[in-house]
């Protein structure tokens, strides 16, 4: 056991004394030491129930003959951090989470790890740590929130953000907005649509690092507690069989996960995070691979914000395993990939058919024959950009319009709320990338305000920042190279014509190259927006969004 380096032998008497100071008996010290990595806190709704998940996990570990030892990580609620300086720190927290877990697990010589996670950056940060440490590991999330209900209609946080725009445009009263605010988020859990947190929990299951049901069993269901106990027991089996994250997260596993990504229509952030996780695994994944897989993968689900369904509906329809079962009918699954069940993907999905074809469409009758995400390329996005194709209105799949240029999210929101945006405009928000933001803020406020005003079928938005999974409409993010790195998005001027062609995977600025050269000669790199602390260091180390916004190696 790896933990023997901290507990066995004459010279480890002081170490054993410290273990005993924790209240551990000789029997507990002699067993495998399993780190229980908990991201529980009292500020993230998806994490307030993780104390109960941790107790269940520890019970499972003890039942199976291990000694559970819990420690914690940080976690940011993107909804609460949205539309102010706090959002600049969200993506950066992913790297801190990975680093802190590496430190804790290595310093204390754990034999295996159970990762308890739920929300946006915590899931990928933990997956990156699991790959880096390559100790036997298993993931258990806190589960999704149930949808709210107003006037007999299901809804989630998306409708509250869009309500701001509707209220600003006079399309909704303040009393109606207050009613939405009261009932949109009725339980603990990760927000109820196919937003980033639920996307990443489903993809953790798809990669094979979480048990079946990890991504979809609602947070408030007792089944979630039972799954946590099973995860605690399973880690001991993984340790015994020496099955490690790099045995599970193989190139074929990433191919499988991207197929699920496209079939479900996950958040655009899933691209950013899968790139970063793959990098830690030493697996080559790039934006072209996403497009190749999207071209052959039918989009089977339209969960909020792309459609009327929510995570509880996907759970009732059979969840991730049922989607695997369905796309396997087209031969789109690599069935031999090993998972934390100790079985292969093929074995896991064999008895998991779709239970509701209204929620998960048949593979021969999909919403579209191509996947839910698209990577766009062109002169304004030489390294690529990302759009949630399944959440774009048909009218906006191809669009050409004048640029309305803003050098920050705040400037854009001010203009939108002042009714200064016209039908047909292409809003450009720049200097919000990984380096320029810094931190590549999610911009749910401008996109949801546009939708709430009823302009989502008339106005497009492009940015070197990123979007929440709750965003819908022709919202194109991750434009790379970013403005702060001298990307062409920095050279766009008010009134320039931008052409968007999502079916053809194109994003182009219709300005002559010589004019762009002249503009580049005049361009000056802006001053850093944050000049102290962690985000200053982050801006100096982070790479392009096309790499997953990973640190330089």
What are the catalytic residues? 468
Phi, psi angle pair for 275, to nearest 5°: -60, -45
Q: Which residues contact 176 (CB under 8 A, 6 or more apart)?
A: 163, 167
In DSSP notation, 476-540 reads EEEEES-GGGT-GGGG--TT-EEEEETTTTEEEE-S-HHHHHHHHHH--PPPPS--SHHHHHHHH
In DSSP notation, 407-470 reads SSHHHHHHHHHTT---TT-EEEE-S-STTTTTS--B-HHHHHHHHHTT-TTT-EEEESSB--TT
Q: Give the DSSP H/E element, type plus range, for residue 112.
A: strand 112-117
Q: Which residues contact 515 (CB under 8 A, 6 or more apart)?
A: none
Tell me if the bond preceding 227 is cis, omega within 30° of 0. no
Q: How far is CA 255 from the centre of its chain?
A: 17
Q: How far is residue 383 from each of residues 164, 287, 427, 492, 548, measured CA to CA in Å? A: 34, 9, 20, 17, 12
Q: Give just the sign of the alpha carbon dihedral 6, 9, 15, 21.
A: positive
CB 219 within 8 A of CB 145: yes
Structure tokens at 197: 């947190």
Query: Could you tell me if residue 67 is left (phi over 0), alpha (psi between -120 and 50 degrees) or otherwise beta?
Result: beta
- The closest of 330, 324, 312 to 348, measured between CA atoms, is 324
List strand residue ranges (DSSP E) for 170-325, in order: none
Structure tokens at 320: 């991730």
CA 486 – CA 459 distance, rounded (Å):
26
- The closest of 325, 390, 373, 374 to 351, measured between CA atoms, is 325
């Amino acid at each position: 056991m790896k933990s023997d380096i901290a507990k066995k032998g004459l010279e480890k008497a002081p170490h054993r004394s410290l273990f005993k100071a924790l209240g551990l008996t000789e029997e507990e010290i002699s067993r495998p030491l399993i780190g229980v990595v908990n991201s529980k806190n009292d500020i993230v709704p998806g994490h307030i129930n993780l104390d109960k998940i941790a107790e269940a996990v520890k019970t499972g570990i003890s039942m199976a003959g291990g000694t559970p030892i819990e420690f914690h990580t940080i976690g940011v609620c993107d909804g609460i951090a949205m539309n102010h300086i706090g959002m600049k720190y969200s993506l950066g927290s992913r790297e801190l989470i990975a680093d802190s877990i590496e430190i804790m697990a290595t310093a204390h010589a754990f034999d295996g790890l159970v990762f308890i996670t739920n929300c946006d950056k915590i899931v990928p940060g933990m997956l990156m740590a699991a790959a880096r440490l390559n100790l036997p590991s298993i993931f258990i999330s806190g589960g999704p929130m149930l949808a709210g209900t107003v006037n007999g209609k299901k809804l989630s946080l998306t409708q509250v953000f869009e309500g701001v725009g509707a209220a600003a445009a006079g399309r909704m009263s303040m009393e109606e907005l207050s009613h939405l605010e009261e009932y949109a988020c009725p339980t603990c859990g990760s927000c109820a649509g196919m937003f980033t947190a639920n996307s990443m929990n489903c993809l953790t299951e798809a990669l094979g690092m979480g048990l079946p049901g990890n991504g979809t069993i609602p947070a408030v269901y007792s089944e979630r507690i039972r799954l946590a106990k099973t995860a605690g027991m399973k880690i001991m089996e993984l340790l015994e069989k020496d099955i490690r994250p790099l045995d599970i997260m193989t190139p074929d596993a990433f191919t499988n996960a991207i197929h699920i990504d496209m079939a479900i229509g996950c958040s655009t952030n899933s691209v950013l995070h899968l790139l970063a996780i793959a990098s830690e695994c030493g697996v080559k994944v790039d934006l072209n691979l996403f497009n190749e897989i999207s071209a052959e993968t039918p989009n089977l689900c339209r969960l909020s914000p792309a459609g009327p369904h929510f995570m509880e509906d996907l759970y009732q329809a059979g969840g991730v395993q049922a989607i695997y079962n369905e796309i396997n009918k087209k031969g789109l699954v690599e069935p031999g990939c090993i998972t934390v069940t100790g079985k292969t993907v093929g074995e896991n999905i064999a008895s998991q058919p779709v239970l509701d074809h209204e929620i998960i469409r048949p593979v021969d009758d999909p919403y579209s024959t191509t996947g839910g995400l698209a990577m766009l390329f062109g002169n304004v996005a030489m390294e690529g950009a990302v759009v949630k194709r399944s959440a774009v209105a048909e009218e906006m799949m191809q669009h050409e319009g004048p640029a309305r240029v803003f050098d920050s999210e705040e400037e854009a929101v001010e203009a939108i709320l002042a009714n200064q945006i016209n039908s047909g405009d292409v809003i450009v928000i720049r200097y919000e990338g990984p380096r320029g933001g810094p931190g590549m803020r999610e911009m749910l406020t401008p996109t949801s305000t546009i939708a709430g005003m009823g302009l989502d079928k008339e106005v497009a938005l492009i940015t070197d920042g990123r979007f929440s999974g709750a965003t819908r409409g022709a919202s194109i993010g991750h434009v790379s190279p970013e403005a702060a790195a001298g990307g062409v998005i920095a050279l766009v001027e008010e009134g320039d014509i931008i052409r968007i062609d999502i079916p053809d995977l194109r994003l182009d600025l219709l300005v002559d190259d010589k004019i762009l050269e002249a503009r580049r000669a005049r361009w000056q790199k802006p001053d850093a927006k944050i000049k102290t602390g962690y985000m200053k260091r982050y801006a100096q180390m982070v790479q392009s969004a096309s790499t997953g916004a990973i640190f330089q190696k």
